[in-house]
Structure 1
Amino acid sequence: MLNANKNIWLKILIPVAIVCVVGGLWILKNTQDSEPEKGVSVGSNNPDFALDVTDELDLDQLKSYGLPIVIDFGADSCLPCKEMAPVLKALNEEYQGKVIIKFVDVWKYQELAQGYPISLIPTQVFIGADGKPFNPENPSAFSLNQYVTKDTGELVFTTHEGGMTKNDFLMIFDAMGVQ
């Protein structure tokens, strides 16, 4: 009789234990799936959101976050760039997770500027959250330059040449749909 009671308890406890383990694994898996794309978090510890660029820009990785991107090509020793440095730093901190802001020192890392239409510094490149060049209704309202391909007329770059104030950036962020 004692053995029969023991078997009944084992028949109850084993399925309950299995259900608990499976449920725990399901909860663990679903909480991990809610992390941002590619398992990389948006935040100050994520190198994709660091302001200063010293290695090749992986635009595909940056675009995968679905955020607007601003790349400022300048130099630490350029006067307008020095004036913009605290603005870029403050915006990068304030808009972390809303806009990706990058600074490339083209005198230290000339190779990182290759492929971009840079004729003077500072020059800012603007990319929309959709991964395409930012295309406002009225680019001249923001003093933006737009570069298109000769054959198809496809927009390939939207830039601004020269220094920008925090208000200049904020007006563009607003036009980009940044909240």
Structure 2
Amino acid sequence: MKRLILINLLFLFMLLLHSPAASQDAAGEPIPQVPTPGMVTMLDLGAHKCIPCKMMAPVIEELQKEYQGRASVIFIDVWQNREEGAKYSLRAIPTQIFYDETGKEVSRHVGYMDKKSIVAMFDKLGVPKTKAAGNAQ
């Protein structure tokens, strides 16, 4: 059953990937540079209307706030920005791609990824757990 659902989601993703659409996000904003120069970056590729991606949204928002200035956490909606799916060789969504400070891809995960696992990857990549005392706001 799970395999059938995954196959159907993949088919839907591929169908949507090849249909015409605008190449800007919902707010009409430009796609951010990925990876962020000089910073550990986590890129979450998904869609605002995808169920597992919706489950990831609050995690992404928390991480963006908690790691501001220490790691870059970026979300790109690949249903609204179809060329991005091909650019990152997506096979399914959501997909999380981690880059080290030099911009090298070091890990890729497909599917929902919980906050604890993402934080563990940030730890592995040397991202400080908290802001330095001088940087606290």
TM-score (norm 2): 0.68
Any runs of at least 4 consecutive aligned residues in structure 1 with deviations exceeding 6 A, and if so which? none
SS at the partner of 2:43? strand
Larger-Rg structure: 1
Relative to total residues, which structure has the larger helix share, 1 or 2? 1
Could you tell me how far 1:54 is from its partner in structure 2? 4.2
CA shift digits 1:92-116 (9 cap, x unpaired): 0000011101101111111223321
**Superposition RMSD in Å:** 1.9
Distance 1:70 1:129 in 2: 11
Judge conservation of contact 1:73–1:105 (CA < 8 Å) in 2.
yes
One of 92, 103, 113 as aligned partner of 2:85: 113
Q: Offset of 1:57 from its aligned partner?
A: 3.5
Q: Distance in 1 between matches of 2:40 and 2:70?
A: 7
Counterpart for residue 12 of structure 1 = none
Distance 1:170 1:159 in 2: 14
Aligned residues: 102
Cα shift at 1:159: 1.1
Structure 1 Cα separation of the partners of residues 31 and 63 of structure 2: 22
Please state how far the C-alpha of 1:133 moved relative to its aligned partner. 1.5
Which of residues 122, 125, 133 in structure 2 aligns to 1:176?
125
- Counterpart amino acid of 2:118? F
Structure 2 unaligned residues grouped into runs of 5+: 1-26, 129-137
Q: Which residue of 2 aligns with 1:131?
A: 103
Q: Is 1:165 aligned with 2:137?
A: no
2:39 alignment partner, SS class: coil
Q: Percent identity?
A: 37
Are the counterparts in 1 of residues 31 and 76 from structure 2 also a CA contact under 8 Å?
no
Q: Partner of 2:3 in structure 1?
A: none
Paired with 1:79 and 1:132, the residues of 2 have a C-alpha distance of 29
Structure 1 partner of 2:46:
74
2 CA distance for matches of 1:165 and 1:129?
Answer: 22
Does the CA contact (< 8 Å) of 2:42 and 2:74 recur in 1? yes
In 2, Cα distance between the equivalents of 1:74 and 1:53?
Answer: 17
Q: Give 1:86 deviation, angstroms.
A: 0.4
CA contact (8 A) 1:72 1:123 kept: yes
What is the SS of the residue equivalent to 1:107? coil
| Contact 1:75–1:106 under 8 Å retained in 2 | yes
For residues 51-70 of structure 1, what are the structure 2 equivalents within 5 Å?
Answer: 54-59=29-34, 62-63=36-37, 66-70=38-42
**Residue 172 of structure 1 aligns to which amino acid in structure 2?**
M
